[in-house]
Structure 1
Amino acid sequence: MSQVISIHPVTRIEGHARIDIHLDESGQVEEARLAISALRGFEQFVIGRPAEEIPRIVTRICGICPWMHHLAAVKAVDGCFGVHPTVSGSLLRELCQILAHIHDKILHFFFLAAPDFVSGSEGDLSVRSILGLVDREPELANRVVTMRQLAQQMLARIAGKAIHPVAAVVGGFSRPMGEDDRRALLADGRVLLDFACHALEFARDRVLQRLVDEGAGLGAIATGFLGTVDNRGQLRLYDGQLRLMAADGTFVDFSAQDYERYLAEHVEPWSSAKMVYAKCWGEGFALNPDHPNGIYRVNTLARINVCDTMATPRAQAELEQFRHHFGRPAQATLLYHWARLIELVYAGERSLELLADDRIVDQAVRSPVQPVAGRGIGHVEAPRGTLIHDYSTDDNGCITRANLIVGTTHNIAPMNLSVHQAAAALIRKGVVDEEILNRVEMAVRAYDP
Structure 2
Amino acid sequence: MTKLSIEPVTRVEGHGKVTLSFDDSGKLDKVNFHVVEVRGFEKFLEGRYIEDAPVFTPRICGICQVSHNLASARAVDNVFGVKIPKTADMLRNLMQQASNVHSHALHFGMLASPDLMFPMTDDALKRNVLGVAAENMDVVKDAISMRKIGQTIIQKVGGRAIHPVTAVVGGQSKPLTEEERDELLKMSENLVDTAERTLVVGKQLLDGLKEQNLLDLGYFESYHMGMVNNGAQDIYEGKIRVVNPEGKIEYEYEPSEYLNYMSEGVRPYSYLKFPYLTEKGPVDGVYRVNTLSRLNVCDKMPTPIAQKYYEEFVKTFGKPAHHPMLFHYARLIELISSAELIRKFLEDDAIVGTDIRVEPTDLVGEGVGCLEAPRGTLVHHFKTDDKGIITDANLVVATVQNNPAMDIGVQKVAEKYIKTPEDAKPHVLNHMEMVIRAYDPCLSCATHTIDGKERMLSMDVYKGGKLIKRL
Matched with 1:209 is: 207
Q: Give the structure 2 partner of residue 290 of structure 1.
A: none
Contact 1:371–1:395 under 8 Å retained in 2: no
1:171-250 paired onto structure 2 within 5 Å:
171-205=170-204, 207-213=205-211, 214-231=213-230, 233-250=231-248
Residues 48-87 of structure 1: CA deviation (Å, up to 9, x unaligned): 1010011001111011111111000111111111111111
Contact 1:12 1:445 in 2 (8 A): yes
Q: 2:315 aligns with which of 313, 324, 340?
A: 324
The superposition leaves residues 148-201 of structure 1 with CA deviations (integer Å, 9 ceiling, x where unpaired) of 222212221222211011111111111111223222222323322111011011
**Alignment partners' CA distance in 2, 1:24 and 1:359:** 65
The answer on 1:343 being equivalent to 2:340 is no
1:298 corresponds to: 289
In structure 1, C-alpha distance between the alignment counterparts of 2:136 and 2:60, rounded to whole Å: 34
Task: Determine helix, strand or coil for the equivalent of 1:285.
Answer: helix
CA RMSD of aligned residues (A): 1.4
2:386 matched residue in structure 1: 395
Give 1:60's aligned amino acid: R
Q: Which residue identity is paired with 1:212?
A: K
Say how many residue pairs are matched: 438
Q: Secondary structure at the match of 1:115?
A: helix
In the alignment, which residue of structure 2 is the partner of 1:411? 402
Amino acid at match of 1:285: P
Partner of 1:262: 261
> What residue is the counterpart of 1:379 in the other structure?
370
Q: Which residue of 2 aligns with 1:439?
A: 431
Aligned residue in 1 for 2:75: 76
Q: Which residue of 1 aligns with 2:306?
A: 315
Taking a change above 3 Å as real, the CA distance of residues 17 and 55 of structure 1, as seen in their structure-2 partners, is same
Q: How many angstroms does 1:429 deviate by?
A: 2.6
Percent identity of equivalent pairs:
39
Q: 1:285 aligns with which of 268, 276, 282?
A: 282
Q: Quote the offset at 1:40 in angstroms.
A: 4.8
The 3-state SS of whatever aligns with 1:215 is coil
Shifted more, 34-43 versus 434-443: the winner is: 34-43
- Asked if the contact 2:156–2:176 (Cα under 8 Å) also holds between the matched residues in 1, the reply is no
Cα drift, residue 25 of structure 1: 3.2
**Which amino acid letter does the alignment assign opposite residue 86 of structure 1?**
P
Letter in 2 for 1:340: R
Uncovered stretches (5+) of structure 1, i.e. residues with no partner = 287-292
- 1:93-242 → structure 2 map (5 Å cutoff): 93-205=92-204, 207-213=205-211, 214-231=213-230, 233-242=231-240
SS of 2:227 mapped into structure 1: strand
SS of aligned partner of 2:106: helix
Distance (Å, rounded) in 1 between the aligned partners of 2:131 and 2:50: 46
Tell me the distance in 2 between the aligned counterparts of 1:373 and 1:236.
27
Is contact 1:17–1:37 with CA below 8 Å preserved after alignment? yes
Whole-Å separation in 2 of the counterparts to 1:82 and 1:343: 32
CA distance in 2, matches of 1:261, 1:215: 38
The alpha carbon displacement at 1:123 in A equals: 4.8
Cross-structure match for 2:4? 5
Q: Which amino acid aligns with 1:447?
A: Y
CA distance in 1, matches of 2:274, 2:385: 29
SS at structure 2 position matched to 1:121: coil
> Is the Cα contact below 8 Å between 2:108 and 2:143 reproduced in 1?
no
